Every structure is written in C-alpha cells, then in structure tokens.
Amino acid sequence: MRTEEIRNLLDKYYAGDTSRKEEEVLYDWFAQNEVPEEFMSEKAQFLFFQEGRVKKAPDYFIENLESKMEKNPFFRSPGNWLKVASAVALLAISVFIINSLSKEGPIEWKTISTAAGEKQEVVLPDGSTVWLNSRSELRYPIEFKEVREVEMKGEAFFEIQRDETKPFNILSQNTVTKVLGTSFNVRSYDKEDQIEVVVVTGKVAFTAEDEISEESVTLEPGLKATLYKEDQSLIKEENSDPNFLSWKTNELNFDNQELLIVLESVSKHYEIQFAAENEKLALCPFTGSFKELTKEEVIRILSYSLEIDFEFVDDTYVITGQGCTD
Amino acid sequence: MEIKDFKSELYALKDKVLRFAFCMMNDSADAEDVAQEVLLKLWSKRDGLKEVKNLEAYAMRMVRNMSLNKLEAPRRRQDSIEDVTLIDQKASPLKVAEDKDLLSIMQSIIQSLPENQRTVVQLRSIEGYALDEVAEITEMTENNVRVTLSRARQKIKEIFDGKYQS
C-alpha cells in the first residue's frame, strides 16, 4: 500500500469514519518495521492498541473469582439453562474478533477455559482433538491459515491430525511445541516450576526460548521434556510416570510402587496435598488400580490397605501410621 | 448445557472486562475490584440474564457505571501511571526499546483524555467494537460516538506531536 493511500485512510480515521476493516489495514501497515517519520504518532497509536489487545487477566484474578463463585452455588432447571447458555454462546463468538499479526488480516479466535475440577474436549478446525484439564485455557483461530498455531495454559492432551504441509505449533509461556501429527501431553501451569511435554505417538519438537537463547529437543514416544523455569534448563528423559494421563483417563494404576510415588500421582490427579511425619511411610509399596473413584474412595482404600490414617488439616491430608514391616 | 458452560462464557469475558476496568480506573487494584464485582454480579444474577439481549455490552456497561460511581467516591488513591502493572505481558511482540518509549508516551496520553474519549478509544480501537455496540455500552448515540472518537484521535495526535517533537 502506498503512503498516499495511507494518508487518505488516516484522514478518514481522524474524522471517525473508517470502518473496522479499514482500521485493520492501518494496524497491519503500521506493524511493519519501517514507518516514515511523518507517521510516528500513528505508529505509536496502533502499537498501543495492538498491545492493549493481548493483555490478559492474571491467574490470581481468576482464582479469586473462582473461589467467590463457588461460595455462591446455583441450581436451576435444565430448561432455563439451555436458553441462557445458548444466548451467551452466540455472544461469545462475536467476542473473539482479534486482530492477528499475519498479513492476511483479522482472524477470529476462540478461547476455551476450564474452571477447577472441570475438563473439556475441544475439536479444532482441522479435526485435531484437545482434552483440557482443569484450570486450563486453550486459544485457537476458527480457521487455520498456513500454520496451525494455538496457545495454551495449564494442561492438555493433544491428538493432532497429520498434515505435512501445515505444521502444528503450541505456544505456552515461552515455549513452542512443534509437531506434524501425533499425540502428546503438555503440562504448563503458571504456578508450577516446570513445563512438561510427554509424547505418546509420533515425533515432537519442543523449544524453549527467552530473550537470549533458544534450546530445542526432539521427542519420540515414551520420552519426556522438562523445562525448569528458574534456570531455563531443558531436560530430555524417559517418562517415568505411568499415570501422567490419569487426568484424562480418570484411571490410576500402581504396580508395587512406593507410597511416595503413589501420593504424587494421587495429589496431581485430585489436586490435593499430602504430608506425613513418619518418613518410613514413604517407602511402603502399594499395588492397585483406581478407576473413576472419588478422592474419598481412594483415601479409604489407601488407608485400609496400608493401615494408615488420613486427617484433613488446612487443605492438606496429614498421614499417620507405623510404616511397613519389611 | 450446564452451569459450567455459563461459567466458561463468563470467563471468556474476563480479559475484556478487566482491561476496560483498568482503562476507567487507572489503577490495577481498583480495576480488579471492579472487574470481580461485575463478573460476580453477572454470576449471581444469571437467572435474569435471558432478558438481556447483549450480555457482553451489558457487562461492559456495568464496568463503566460501577467505575464512574467509584471514581466519585472521595477516598480514591492516585497511582502514578508508571507503577501500574495490570498484566503479565505474555505475548508482547514489542521488543524494541523505541517501541517501549512510544507505548509509555501513548499510555500517558490516553490516560490524560477526558473519560468519554478514553472510553470510546478503548472500546473501539482496543476491543474492536462496532460503533453501534460502543453506543450501546456507553449509552451515547452512534453519531455522538463517532464525533467523540474523532476528537479523541485528533487530540491524541496533537498531544503526541507536541511531546515527540520536544
């Protein structure tokens, strides 16, 4: 676009007469690197607006909201809900008209968030499926252009349709997970110290980048990449946790595993915390499977089979018991 | 359709609601209070929402009205603009220092605009609403929105050129 045309568009803009489409043209034009000196003010304006669009509510804001909402439970007949929810769903579609930075102009994006304890399955425009774990968020365009790119927070399992011509990228915090067609799990909660990717099928390239450096690993089935946020160290290893997908399958299996490991999985799965004073307890072996059980049922089984007691104190299950004999 | 669907729809509004609250309050703690209050009100009033044609516009109007009420209250703190951090700047494409300067100049210019101008700029240029939607949220006429928007844009340019040249 020539500067002459930009000048004309800007006249219209200052008169308050530009359409949204024309304004998107301006956003894109000013997003380019070399802007003539005469347009400094417009460059600043459009940069500022662009920046304003990506600001997100912080995690603690959402957590706060959630806990207040939970104190205010609500029950209605399903009929009413259907009406309210469908009206709101229509609205939500109009909400996410967000300017993309690509040259092709605006693409509509959708955001799906899950509350604590809630899970959701999402089918993407290319037929790929994403299962979102609790307190997670997935953002994706309603149509994929030359790359398939989505953003996520929290934890999700991806089953990506193979398409050699369109790689699939997942952006999360400062990492990119690139794939052609595979299935794998990404765990990337803001609050946790590390980001983990475990591959089930296919091949995945996982890249962590910050301002100074970029580091990449390629993962095959059964392998796991862990990025420790504190020092940005990236480690590739065998996945040792057979229950890493329990949040999706709702099934935990233990084969002669130490209680410490068992509790780690149970704690992740049910989002609860454990503490024990007697260190001997950590080594007690446990074998068993939990299929679609509630946390209370799991605790009852553990308590019964290992002869230990659980007491719920300040958000934490405190474990007491003798420890095992051998 | 269950409660969780309604919850997700509310969650989908949270970023916009918070950004708009920040635009109004110019203080991140106050903005968060307003945004929480609006979302919780919607949550507790959800049985009445089927009467509301445009929930999003309704939510944004609540943000504005609540903010205006709070701003009238006497015990308001005045935060300096530089101290404000509303967001985790997750996906900022702006790496160049020059751009950062431009951004901070713009931030202070926008905050210095009269409330109605600031509001229409936020709703139109950042949130991307159509003029009739901005009119619905602000309870102004569409023509009034257009005129206010035009004035705001000219004023931004005027102040910017003054600052940038000096």
Residue B99's identity, in one-letter code, is D
Q: What is the pLDDT of residue B96?
A: 57
Question: Inter-chain contact B11–A113, Cβ cutoff 8 Å?
Answer: yes
Say how far apart CA A143 and CA A91 lie, in whole Å: 18
Instruction: Pick the residue of B13, B28, B44, B126 with the most A CBs within 10 A to test the interface with A by mutation.
Output: B126
Residue of B nearest to A30 (CA): B99
Say how far apart CA B18 and CA A289 lie, in whole Å: 44
Q: Which are the contacts of A33, defined by CB distance < 8 A and separation ≥ 6?
A: none
- pLDDT of A181 over the 60 cut: yes
The mean pLDDT value of chain A amounts to 81
Quick check: ipTM above 0.95? no
pLDDT digits (tens, 9 = 90+) for A25-82: 888 888 876 788 888 899 889 988 988 888 888 888 888 888 777 765 443 333 333 3
Residue of A nearest to B17 (CA): A57
Task: Give the Å distances, CA to CA, from B165 to A137, B97, B158, B162.
Answer: 44, 18, 11, 6
Question: Inter-chain contact B4–A115, Cβ cutoff 8 Å?
Answer: yes
H, E, C per residue of chain A: CCHHHHHHHHHHHHCCCCCHHHHHHHHHHHHCCCCCHHHHHHHHHHHHHHHHHHCCCCHHHHHHHHHHHHCCCCCCCHHHHHHHHHHHHHHHHHHCEECCCCCCCCEEEEEEECCCCCCEEEECCCCCEEEECCCCEEEEECCCCCCEEEEEEEEEEEECCCCCCCCEEEEECCEEEEECCCEEEEEECCCCCEEEEEEEECCEEEEEECCCCEEEEEECCCEEEEEECCCCEEEEEECCCCCCCHHHHCEEEEEEEEHHHHHHHHHHHHCCEEEECCHHHHHCEEEEEEECCCHHHHHHHHHHHHCEEEEEECCEEEEEECCCCC
Question: Inter-chain contact B1–A85, Cβ cutoff 8 Å?
Answer: yes
Distance from CA of A52 to the nearest CA of B (A): 6
| Number of A–B residue contacts, CB under 8 Å | 174
Q: What is the pLDDT of residue B153?
A: 95
Instruction: Pick the residue of A20, A51, A190 with the most B CBs within 10 A to test the interface with B by mutation.
Output: A51
B15 touches chain A (CB under 8 A): yes
**What's the pLDDT band for A106 if we cut at 50, 70, 90?**
low
pLDDT digits (tens, 9 = 90+) for A201-237: 888 888 887 766 778 888 888 899 998 887 778 888 8
Asked whether the beta carbons of B52 and B58 are under 8 A apart, the reply is yes
pLDDT digits (tens, 9 = 90+) for B35-80: 998 998 888 777 766 666 778 888 999 899 888 888 876 543 444 3
Asked whether the beta carbons of B41 and B28 are under 8 A apart, the reply is no
The shortest CB-CB distance from B50 to any of A72, A84, A112 is to A84
- pLDDT of A85 over the 60 cut: no
